[in-house]
Structure 1
Amino acid sequence: MASTINQISSINWITVLIAGTLVFSIIQGMIRGASSSARHLALMAAEGAAIVVGIVLSWWLSSWVSPYVQGWLVELNIVIPTKDLGLFEQFYYTVVTSVRDFPLLRLGVLFIIGYAVIKQIIYRMINPFFGHWGTDKFQGESRHASTKRPGMISSVMGGIIGTFSGLGRSLLIVAALFIYTTFLPQTEITPYIQASTLYQEGATAVIKPVAGDFLTNQLPVFTRKFEAEVNNILQRKYDVLDAQIPPGIAEAAKEVTLKGTTDEEKAKLLYKWIGTRVTYDWDKVNLYEQKKIWKEQTPEETYATRKGVCIDYSRLYAVMARSIGLEVKVVTGLGYDGRGGYGPHAWNEVYLNDSSKWVPLDSTWVSSGGNWFNPPNFNQTHIREV
């Protein structure tokens, strides 16, 4: 029993998936026979061509129209209202302002819309050539024909055609896995994928020569831009949620920073005040860890109760900082737990006009000691979320 389990655990299931796709296509081709397999292969080829043409045209069209869409949205002069917003309003302002301000998101949205429209147009254009294959009449004939087993020659030819279909499907799987491992080389599953012999052969023999150095050189650059934009979109969510600044919090922020003469001094005064006035809410943590109940709270609630967790510290800091004219972000990611690992965490970044740069700070960790306002080792203990 133990040896059987060991043998199963030693199987690379990526190899099984690729090989299984090929074998399934061959068997499917043999069952269908030559003529039905040929029709299926032709349909696959036509759909593949439609997809490729749709992607190319959609990419060109979205790249061309993106600046015009941005200009139109800028002219609308959409401003996030400083009032309590409902769920629909939060969604609206988050999406519209993000599409306006973030080029990769805007390009992605336009690409998806363009691809959906263009693909339908292409299908309608090729429908006169292939549409009759999907009609009820043909389907009825196919079901009637399927009751008759194809002859030996027809089955062999169907199997050969099925082999070509299976190779195409398998290469699509390899291509998708190759893009995944190039995008996310640090994930745990990446070495497992790369250990598959069939994946290695497909990637080495076909994908890499076709793609050249584009995927390995250009995708990491794109990934870094994508990561930065995802963080900006997450930040926009909190901008919308906390757009309203309660008068009491604004007055408190003004009083706390009264002695500050520069952006840095004001940012530090707020950092120390929140870090020493707000206490960490372990009951909230235990409620989530033990019962999976998350208690969402606004910056106003954090200010009133003087209790919260890292995201509450960060949102309160952001609201207070904005009320005195500072530009600030809420950043989510992982924080060092002091035991050799990392756990979910949130902190802030504030822009200092004095030095024209963004600096990180963590008001949650003030009570633990040490300097967490732009220390030199901040990135070693805080990892931004993607």
Structure 2
Amino acid sequence: MDINWITIIALFLLISPLLIGLWRGLPDELDHLRYTIYSICSSILWLISYGITFWVLRSLVMNSNLEIPQLYWLQQHLKASIFAWAVAVPICALLLSWLLRLLAGPVIHLLTSSVHHIGRWTERIPKGLSRVLTLVLKVPKAVLQTLIFLLVVHIGLPFLSSSDFSKMADSSFVYQWTDKKVIKPLLASDWSKQLPVLGQQTGNWFHQISQEAAKYGPKDSKSFWTWQTRFDSNEQINAKARSIVKGAKNDREKAYRLYKWIGANITYDDNKAYAIQSGNYRSLTYGAIPTFQTKKGICSDYSALMVAMGKAVGLEIKQELGEAVLPDGSGGPHAWNVVYLKDENKTIPCDPTWAKSGNYFDNRNFYETHHPEKQAI
């Protein structure tokens, strides 16, 4: 395996805190820890204030029985404009964080002053022992920040179309060892399954809010539409993708075979689409893995599975979000794919969700019925 930027950054994050600790010594390190504690506590309070603010405003938007005129006025503005959120959330969070700082101030002061007193006492420890103790204290930080970096790489890989980045991760011995021994077992544990709940719920809230904006606001408010999706894969998906494209001569043939297989084997989930339209998000799952397992999904699931299978066979593929327009002029939010064909040096669109309805693989009139807003990955 090669030494590349992922390996270099990971090793730097692991080694640099240890070297800094040896250079500082225990008293200076504890003094630095005092400011770190204050900074971490401030950041936590700020995040809590943002979370509470968003939850309160979201509850206000979803409440249909408001009797207080001022709150009703705020509710209508939040429904009609994303800019109202951009103003209301920071202001409310700032006021709430100030209140939380007042309440938590004595506790933070107790923590920092305790560390300060311990630091004064450690000045009497011999320098050699002081540096060894500092090294020991620095190990958890070094390991944690290295794991966070490698976890970001692990999460970001499915969202990046760059084959160079994927090859870099594959050839990094530090990333491969950590991913196999630590990250994947951690993400597969029962404990980790409790962590994404807040993030998924937040995504659902944003989706509900954007739908409210599309309903009550100006026509261009649909540009704020977002769709929760995941691009994670597994060995079953990867193996199936490889078997589908076996013998394919070029990228176009690979992409077309995957497009046809997904279109033929995945059934559109009308119940899921109705649940989303009704605002019932909590029990739903999204992405490539559940779609492959259940053989059902909505447009974002079709395109997510196309991304996962495409990446498994070396395609540079993305999901594109936008609006589908039918011949009668009706339409709505939709998701499809774009694939970069390296051997042809061109990017083509395809829509596996509509594969049963006609030719939507590199159709010359594709963008007459598909109006893109952004690429998700």
Superposition TM-score, scaled by structure 1 size: 0.39
- Structure having the higher Rg: 1
